[in-house]
Each structure stands twice: as C-alpha cells, then as structure tokens.
Amino acid sequence: MRPRVVLALCLLVCMGLALAQVEVERGRRRRVGLKRGRNRPARQRNSNPLLRLRSVPANNGDDGTSVFIESYKSVNELESNYNVIPGKKGQCVFQGITMFDKAVWSPKPCVTCLCSDGAVACDEIHCPRLHCPLTITPVGECCPVCHDLVPDVPELSGDSPEPNDPSELGPAAPRTQEEIDELLRKEEEEHQEMEEQLQKKDAERKRKRKLKRLQAEKQKKLFEERRREEEELREKMEEEEKRLEDQRRREEEEKAAEKEKKRRMEEERRLEEDRRRRLEMEQRELLRILEEEEGEEEGEGEEQEGREEEEEEEEEVWLRGDVFQMPPRRTTPEGIPPLPAPTVEDTPRSSPSLPAGCIISDVTVTCENAKFTSIPPLSIPELKALSLEGNAITAIPAGAFNGIPNLEWINLGKNKLTSSGIDPQVFKGLKFLTRLYMDGNLLEQIPTELPSSLQELKINENNLRTIDENSLQGLHNLITLELEGNVLSEGNVDPSAFLPLTQLSYLRLGRNHFRTIPQGLPASLQELYLENNVIEEISESVLNHTRNLNIVVLRHNRLDETRIAPLAWINHPHLESIDLSHNKLYHVPSFLPRSLVHLVLVGNQIERIPGYVFAHMEPGIEYLYLSFNDLESDGINPVSFFGAFHSLTELFLDHNQLTKVPLSIREMKSLHFLRLNDNKIKNFSDESICDPLSDEDSNLMTLRLENNFIDTRKISPTAFSCIRSYSSVVLKPQKTQ
C-alpha cells in the first residue's frame, strides 16, 4: 500500500512540474503578446483570447463552492505593468480568494491577472485617447472605439452590463495548449486582415477626399473662368453700348445743328425776300406818285393792260401750293434816293467808340445808310455781325477787319464796291465768316481768297461777267450761292467752276443771260432757280449729275415742249416741284418726273392736256396750276387726268377758254381747291361737280365759278349737294353776253 502511494505522489509531482513549466512558458508568450497588443487598435487588442478568459474560481475548504471577485472597481489602477502579490506555494490568494496555480482572471476591465507559483501577476491595458465626437465600447472589449470605425456594433457599453462581471459568467472551459496556440494564430490572422481592411478603407477614404478636393477645385476653377468670361463679355457689351450711344448722340446733335442751320438760313432768306418786296412796293408807289405829279397820262389801252396785270398779280396770290411765287424786280429809277433800311427791332445802345451813324445791339453793329465811303475803323473782338448796307463804300483795303477778327456775318449790300477796290487777302483772315452779302454793287468778278468757312454767299445785282475754274476754289462748305441779276451766260461760266462746291444745295442764277442750263452743276444741288433768263432748251445730259434735285424754277424763259428732251428729268428720284410758268408751251409737257408733286404752268399758251400725261407719276401729282392759258373744252379729254384722280388736291383752270366743266372733275376724290372762274362756261349741269349716283360728300373746300356765263337761276338745288358748305362756292358775279 505505501509503495503505491509513494509512486502516485511522485507521478503527481512530475506532472505538476511539467504543467508549471508549460504554464510559465505560456505566460511569457502571453505577456509578450499583451505588450505587443498595446500598440494595436483597441478592437484588435481586446480580441486576445487570454483577455476574454473569465476569473477562475478557487476552492474554499470543504464545501467546494465557487467564490468570484465582485468588488474590483475600487482597486486603484497601478501605473506599473506587473504587481507581484506573495501567496501560498502553488496557489494564490487574491483579496481573500484562493486561485489555482496558473489561473488567469480579470478583476476589472482592461486588467488581467495570472497565478504563477503562488505569485499573482496583473497586466493593465491603457486605452488610447480618442479624438472623435462619438465613441462606443463593443461587447467583450475594455476600450472604447470611434463609431465610424466599428460598422457593426450590436450594442453599446452603456446599455450592456460590465463585460468582466464574474457574477454573470459560469466556470471557464478548460483549454489545451493547442487550442490556445490556434486561438493566437487566428487572432494574429484576424489582426492582419483587419489592418489590411483598415489600410484599404483609409486609402479609399483618402482617395475619395482627394477626388472630391480635385473636383471642387476644378468646379471652382471653371466657375472662376465662367465668371471672368461673363465679366469680360459684360464689359465689352457695356463699352459697345456706350460707343453706340455716343455715336447716336453725336449724329443726333449733328442733325439738329444742320437742321437749325438750315432753318436759320431759310428764315433769313425769307426775311430778306420780304424786305426786298416791301422796298420794291414802296419804290413802285413812290414812282407812281411822281408820275402822277408830272401829269403823265396813259392811253386807254395801257390802262386796260395795267388792270389785267393787277388782276394777274391778284390771281397769283391765290396759288396756295406755289412755293416759287416771287414778285417781279424793278430797277430803281435814277434820281430817287434809296429808302432807309428797316430799324433794328432790339433797342439799340450807342457806344462812344462807334463811328457816327452806327448802333450796336448785343454782338451786332449796324451802320446802314450812314453815308460811309470806306469801312469804318472798329476794334471789337467779340463782334459777330456787321451790316454796312446802303452806304457809298468803294473799296475794302487790307486789314479793314483786323479789329473784328471773329465776324460771322458781313452785309456790304447796296454800296459802290468794285472788284479792283477789294484787296485780294482782305477776307482770308476771317476764319469764322459764314455769311457774306454783297448785293447791289459794281463787282465784275467774285472776290478771291474767301475763307473756307463760308456757307452763304450773295452777289446779286452786280456786273459779274465771268466765273472761271478758280473763282469758287476752297469753298467746300458753301451751301447757298446767289448770283442773280448779273451778266452771266453759259459762254462765260466755266463748266468746272462748281466742282469745289461739294455741299452746295441752293443755287440762284435768275435774271442773267443763260440760253441753256449751265453745265457742271454739283451733285449735292437740291434747289435750282433760273427764272428770267432766255433758256430755250433742256438737253438730255445737262442734269445727269444732279440726282438730288428737289425744286427747279424755269419761269419767264423761252421753253416749248419740243425743246425738252424726253430723258431730261423723268428719272430724277427726288424732283417734286417744277415751275415752267410764262414760257412758250402749247400743251402740257410729256415725260415729266415720276416723283413730281407740284407743277406750275401759268401764263403759257397751252391749248390741250394730252391723255395719260400724269399716269406714270408716283405717288401722283397734287398741285397743278394751268391758269392764264388757252385751254378749250375740246383740249381736255376723259383720260387727260388719268393717274391723278386719287392725288390731285389743287387744280386751277381759271382764265382759259372752257365752255363747260370737264367731265373728269367729279372723279377727283381728293380735290380741295378748284378754280374755273373767268372762262366761258355757260351750261352747268347737275352732274358737273357731284355724282348723283354716289352718296359720298366731296372734299372740296373752295369752288370758284364767277365771271362765266352761267345763269345762276337755272342751277338745280342738287347741283352742289355733295359739297359740305355752300359758302365755299363762289358764283357771282357772272358775265352777260
């Protein structure tokens, strides 16, 4: 019996030593693994199987009940890695509890203890500090982790009981060395896989962040480029709009200035014409008084002729559309003193520095009819206008205008100036001169060296005998040129004389000796006045270059319809007004301009109106004056006015030989003024003026039928039913046979 007991004890001792050696080797490896796990992520460190081992129960005497560690939360954490607590040989006593040799337990989270040969060795795991807004403690782990690093966490530490609470665990299952090694190997593989996954996730996250940053930078760059392009485009558009606005404003200002300049010139011309008309009427009245005082009497025939002329003048006043009407000029007889010029409307204020007979108003000095024989000495630099009309000035020496260099207007009319008495350079220094009037002098040629600023030049009623190619040189700004009442003809006017006048629009050459229209007229010409010449012919090429002509006045010449070339002016696109009154026409000319609106044929010998003579006109003739001709009823057929029914506004057929009202009159729907007085009309039917089949009212505002042979008692009450007002019809007086 005793030898068996001794043998059993020896076997037990040997087995215990072997087990102790194995446990020591295992503890060494575990400590190395724990140290290495401190540098791992919390999730990987806490996956060690040794840390997941629960407390091993100790035998407490005879009853064999298990005692667990329950109050380790109050144990202060130690900063050293191992705390050695001495105990009995082979077993360990920890806080009054006996642990088997090689037992492993966790008294509190992140603390693992080992019983080795009666000594207790505890290892404490220090959790790293986390920098994230949300942390959780997974089940079975002691350290918290960031929420985004743990995608599948079943429950949080706050909702679960303490992971190392021994009261909730049963006895630890025994494990062999092979199982422990297998667990360690799997843990190491899981650790490597987890590190690789984390590295992949981190690399993917960095790549996505980099991609997002690159996309954001690209979008920002594109946005900046687009914004810069939009800014540049907007700036270009604003500059273009500003440039167009400036250009439009300049054009409007230029147009307004040009319009105002033309308006002033027209107003001045009208005032000048009115003044001339008044002077001539006063002179005629004075001549009549003198003739009456001398006792001169005229014969009965001359009195009758005078009455007819007065009637003709009275009738011409009725030409409402006649824009060319001008009173005849008559030369003042010798011995009759010139009439005084009209007084200045503004209240004049005398200046001590002015010569006697001169007055000043604003920037204008007037020395009219002051009996000067030379240019008075003036030194007024701000002076703009100077009038010396009606004196006896014979010469203009050099430097005559040195004291008044800013003159814009000079009137030297009705003096005794000669071409030889004018210094060639006297006008050259007047850089602002725009208007120069030299009417009623003794000039034989146009003064030389006129300033290029000149816009209006009047040399009417002189003795001009020649215009050579250099006479108008340099006057490229000239707009108005008047040379009436001279001795000019096509023989002494050079065809190239008008070439420098590129802006000329108004030319008056009346009361000269032209037999044809002058050659070389400027292309800019709009109004041409050639009345009171001896023109007999209008050739086909004479007006070829004047495509801007609007008004042509040829009254009191010697034209007949056979001497007007068919292509003389028919294709002129802007020619609207022609005055051919007092010529030698026997019928209304054919081939009139298509654009014609106003035609004056008063005082010819016209006997008929050819058919369709107005049919080619567009938009149509509006004013037609045929007074004082030889028209008979047979000379007007139903198609004579064809093409003018819709456009005619004024039709004058008075002082002719008509015996009845033309049938086509009632077809003229736009007619406002109709004159049939002083004819031989005897029969006046109900259908002469009004169409009995039409209920429309006529547009007639004036109808004159006096001085015919109409018996007013036989006129039907419905003869004028279409006329809105009977007061517009003039019937009396009538002639008796």
Residue at token pair 């494990």 = 175
More confident residue, 450 or 686: 450
Angle subtended by helix axes 2-37 and 177-294, to nearest 10 = 10
Measured between alpha carbons, how far is 515 from 530 in angstroms, rounded to an integer? 10
Confidence of residue 222 (pLDDT cuts 50, 70, 90): confident
Average pLDDT over residues 506-513: 96
> How long, in residues, is the chain?
737
Residues 367 and 380 sit within 8 Å (Cβ to Cβ): no
Per-residue pLDDT for 309 more than 60? Answer: no
pLDDT of residue 177: 76
In this predicted structure, what is the pLDDT of residue 317? 41
Q: What is the pLDDT of residues 175-190, one digit of tens each?
A: 577 877 788 888 888 8
- Which bin fits 64, alpha (ψ -120 to 50), beta or left (φ > 0)? left
Higher pLDDT: 148 or 171? It is 148
Q: Measure the CA–CA gap between 237 and 497, rounded to whole angstroms.
A: 49
Overall average pLDDT of the 715-730 stretch: 85
Tokens 């517009």, residue located? 728
Strands (E), 134-232: 135-136, 145-146
DSSP for 401-457 reads: TTT-TT--EEE--SS---GGGB-TTTTTT-TT--EEE--SS--SSPPSS--TT--EE
Q: Which of 92-106, 205-219, 497-511, 708-722 has the lowest mean pLDDT?
A: 92-106
- In degrees, rounded to 5, the angle at the alpha carbon of residue 321 between the alpha carbons of residues 482 and 563 is 65
Query: Mean of the pLDDT values across residues 471-496?
Result: 94
Q: Which of 72-81, 249-258, 722-731 has the lowest mean pLDDT?
A: 72-81
Task: Name the residue with higher pLDDT: 11 or 542.
Answer: 542
Cβ atoms 726, 720 nearer than 8 A: yes
Nearest-angstrom CA–CA distance, 614 and 135: 108
Question: What pLDDT is stored for residue 672 in this prediction?
Answer: 93
Same fold, 470-482+496-585 and 607-737: yes
Residue range 452-476: average pLDDT?
94
pLDDT at 77: 40
Express each pLDDT in 655-676 by its tens digit.
999 999 998 898 898 999 999 9
pLDDT of residue 715: 87
CATH class held by domain 349-463: alpha beta
Kindly list the domain boundaries of the chain, sorted by start residue: 17-175, 181-291, 349-463, 470-482+496-585, 607-737
Could you give the CA distance from residue 723 to residue 516 in angstroms, rounded to a whole number? 46
What does the pLDDT read at residue 397? 93
Identify whether the C-beta of residue 400 lies closer than 8 Å to the C-beta of residue 375.
Answer: yes
- Using CA atoms, how far apart are residues 622 and 572, in angstroms rounded to an integer? 18
The average pLDDT across 327-333 equals 39
Task: Give the global pTM.
Answer: 0.57
What is residue 510's predicted lDDT score, i.e. its pLDDT? Answer: 96
* Residue 87: pLDDT over 60: no
What band does 505 get if pLDDT is binned at 50, 70 and 90?
Answer: very high
Q: Which amino acid belongs to residue 420? A: S
CB-based contact 445:473 (threshold 8 Å) = no
Question: Which residue did the predictor score with more confidence, 290 or 316?
Answer: 290
How does pLDDT run across 5-63, given as a tens digit for each residue?
777 777 787 777 777 666 656 655 555 444 444 444 444 444 443 333 333 333 433 34
Q: Give the mean pLDDT of the chain.
A: 79
Lowest mean pLDDT of 1-10, 265-274, 393-402, name the range.
1-10
Q: What is the pLDDT of residue 132?
A: 77
CATH number of the 607-737 domain: 3.80.10.10
- From CA 415, how far away is CA 735, in angstroms rounded? 52
301: confidence class by pLDDT, cuts 50, 70, 90: low
Asked if the 470-482+496-585 domain carries CATH number 3.80.10.10, the reply is yes
Give alpha helix (H) positions in 38-164: 42-45
Q: Residues 6 or more apart from 204 whose CB is under 8 A from it?
A: none
Mean pLDDT on 213-242? 88
In the chain the first and final C-alpha atoms are separated, in Å, by 199
